[in-house]
Amino acid sequence: MPIKSNQVITISFILKDTDDNIIEATTKEEPFSFISGGNQILPKLEENIGEMLIGSKRTVVLSPEEAYGIYDDSALQHVTRSEFPEETDIQAGMAFIADSPDGQQMPFVIKTVEGENITIDFNHPLAGQTLTFDVELLSLRDATIEELSHGHVHGSGGHHH
């Protein structure tokens, strides 16, 4: 069933990484909803969901290029502890957000801490991985004017005001 832009698509899914570890999962009782055509999910995943019938299930495998990109070593930076707030106990795996010179938010993760030297990683945490989505299409409907103006789904599987 071709999905048009500006529809609310509700799915349940299990997302697994390259090693078959579950990264994230939803259920029919607590589904995930998004507005089609709004770049709210990975484009190739949305394309595959658009080929499904309501109530059907599909396994979608995305290459790194179709998901979060190839891991880029140039996205690693070396900084010193003094570049963080003094009271922060910096540990590997912690996530932060930096502001770029043009005001864009840039999430990063602490890769290593070696004394005063810290390596930070601006790659998406799933960069370089083949991802597998086990998806069930639960429903679809036209988005309301309010949802379109807010840019997100309201109600079950979406945002609550």
Backbone angles phi, psi at 86, to 5 degrees: -55, -35
Concatenate the DSSP letters of all residues of 83-108 into one string: GS-TT----TT-EEEEE-TTS-EEEE
> Domain limits at 82?
73-121
> Is 112 inside a domain boundary?
yes
Per-residue pLDDT of the chain (161 residues; tens, 9 = 90+): 568 889 999 999 999 999 999 999 999 999 999 999 989 999 999 999 999 999 999 999 999 999 999 999 999 999 999 999 889 899 999 999 988 889 899 999 999 999 999 999 999 999 999 999 999 999 999 988 998 888 888 875 555 44
Q: Shortest CA distance to 135 belongs to which of 20, 17, 55, 69? A: 55
Pull the structure tokens for residue 108: 């990063």
**What pLDDT is recorded for position 158?**
58
pLDDT at 45: 97
Handedness of CA 42, 138, 130, 105 (dihedral sign): positive
Q: Which residues of 47-79 are buried (b: 16+ CB within 10 A; e: fewer)?
A: ebbbebeeeeeeebebebebbbeeeeeeeeeeb
DSSP string, 33-68: EEETTSS-S-HHHHHHHTTPPTT-EEEEEE-TTTTT
**Please, what is the end-to-end C-alpha distance for the chain in angstroms?**
31
pLDDT at 155: 72
Question: Would you state the pLDDT for residue 4?
Answer: 86
CATH of the domain at 53: 3.10.50.40
Judge whether 155 lies within some domain: no
User: In this structure, are 81 and 109 located in the same domain?
Assistant: yes
Q: Into how many domains does the chain fold?
A: 2
